[in-house]
Each structure stands twice: as C-alpha cells, then as structure tokens.
Amino acid sequence: MKPSPATPATPVSPDRAPTVGRDSYLTLHYSLSDMEHTDYVSTFDLSPATLQMGSGQLAETLEACLIGMAAGERRIFELAAEDAFGPHNPRLIERIARSALPPDVELKVNSLIEFSSPDGAGDFAGFLRELTESSAVFDFNHPLAGKPVRFEVQLIAIM
C-alpha cells in the first residue's frame, strides 16, 4: 500500500508524462529522518543520488513511495514504523565474544561495524551498543526500525 504524502506534490505540467516505474533509473535528492526531523541520511546538501529501482539500493517500502512520481516533483512521506523499516527486533541484538571479532577492527561504542556474511555473499552492519573486556553487543536492526519515518524526495530526473 502506497503511503499518503504528508505534503501535497509540487505541481508538474501535464506534458511531463514519464513517471517512476518499478525498473526506472533515477536521479534524486532524498532524506530519511525521524519525526523530530533528525536526519539519518540526506543528499540535499550533497550531490544527488542515482539509483536503479528494484536493485536493492533503496528499501522496497521507500521505492513504493516513488512509484508514479514525475521529474521535478518534491514530496514528503510520513510512514508508520511498520511501513518503513518494520518493528525493532530484539532477536537482532547479539553478544559476540571479542575473541571472535577481527583483531584489526577498531571497536567504539555507538559506531557502525561492517561484517562479512558467513557465506561470503555480502556484507552487513551492526551498531555497537556495549563493549566489555570479553564481549561486544551489536544491534543488527536498521537504525530506524521501530520508528516512524519522514522520507523527503526531490525527483530530479527519470532516465
């Protein structure tokens, strides 16, 4: 289900017919923040992002917000936690023995640590929540899991 925009769409003239589809290649600015407007990621002060819809570069729920948008539109979507990154899952918090961690990795509480998957097929990240002499507690939930999200988008081009 496509969420309702929190703000009306920027008007676009009818002669700008192309709209975002499930396989579109896009150039856009976007930001993800919590409802207190704390940005977790934003490209608005940087170069715009380019992405291929359906490639996994953006969460499916966020891609769904883009479907039907036209170049030049700017929208803000407010998504409930379950419609954004889902609930916070306590099973994704793990205590790992420090001896099982790579010795060359600098461990600092409140930092994001990259891990390789056991099968070597990809990487994933965990947020280091707690560190003791013998173990480290990592949270593998998305930082916005369990929180409502504000997704702001300025669609620059559909290629």
What percentage of the chain has pLDDT greater than the value 70?
Answer: 89
∠35-39-45 over CA atoms, to 5°?
Answer: 135
User: Looking at the 3D structure of the chain, how many domains does it have?
Assistant: 2
| 15 assigned to some structural domain | no
pLDDT reading at 102 higher than 90: no
pLDDT at position 9: 55
CB atoms within 10 A of CB 154: 19
Instruction: Report the predicted TM-score, pTM, of the whole model to 2 decimal places.
Output: 0.75
Q: Does 116 or 81 have the greater pLDDT score?
A: 81
| 40 assigned to some structural domain | yes
Burial class (CB in 10 A: 0-12, 13-18, 19+), 59: middle
pLDDT reading at 65 higher than 80: yes
pLDDT reading at 50 higher than 90: yes
131: domain CATH number is 2.40.10.330
pLDDT at position 6: 57
Residues 82 and 120 in one domain: no
Average pLDDT of the chain is: 89
pLDDT at position 2: 47
CB atoms within 10 A of CB 26: 24
pLDDT at position 103: 83
Residues 111 and 125 in one domain: yes
Residues 82 and 32 in one domain: yes
63 φ/ψ angles, rounded to the nearest 5 degrees: -60, -40
Residues 81 and 46 in one domain: yes
| 4 assigned to some structural domain | no
| 120 assigned to some structural domain | yes
Residues 32 and 110 in one domain: no
Domain of residue 77, residue span: 25-86+148-158
pLDDT at position 121: 77
> For the segment 115-153, what is each residue's pLDDT rounded down to a tens digit?
877 777 778 889 999 999 999 999 999 989 999 999 999
